[in-house]
Amino acid sequence: MKRPKGITIIGYYYMFGAIVLLFTLGVEQDININVRVGLAFLPELKVKILISLLWIVMSYGYLKMKRWGYWLMIIYSIYVTVINGSLALSIQNYILTGNIVFSLIVIVYTFNERLSFYSKSTEFGS
């Protein structure tokens, strides 16, 4: 069984995002990433590096159809949805709505494809 196209798109999206985040470590944003992921008490540079590493590991497991990749993607997406929902309401910034919508799409799609992660024939690179 082949890996579903949606899994490939989501996995490579996060992999690409991690690489871009690493290349833009010194770039300032309207809302810092440490705030967007609920870690405002940590320095932004450290959070960018941490998030980049998380995205690389998460997307690797997700693309390889590993169960831990599935759960890491689900947990991260739920966390981001809750944090960005809270921020969007508290600081009245609707740019965060895109993060919420994308995370909800990832949650729904990943949940619908959950059986693909539990099939031995789809574990890439086992």
Helix 44-63, helix 5-23: angle, nearest 10? 160
Over residues 94-110, mean pLDDT: 90
Q: What is the pLDDT of residue 125?
A: 53
Q: What is the pLDDT of residue 102?
A: 94
Full-model pTM = 0.86
pLDDT digits (tens, 9 = 90+) for 42-72: 999 999 999 999 999 999 999 999 999 999 9
Beta-carbon contacts of 18 under 8 Å, excluding residues fewer than 6 positions away, are 51, 52, 53, 55, 56, 59
What are the residue ranges spanned by the domains of the chain?
5-120
90-113 exposure pattern, b = at least 16 Cβ within 10 A, e = fewer: eeeeeebeebbebbeebbebbeeb
**Where on the phi/psi map is residue 32: left (φ > 0), alpha (ψ -120 to 50), or beta?**
beta
**Are the C-beta atoms of residues 56 and 15 closer than 8 Å to each other?**
yes
**Are the C-beta atoms of residues 88 and 80 closer than 8 Å to each other?**
no
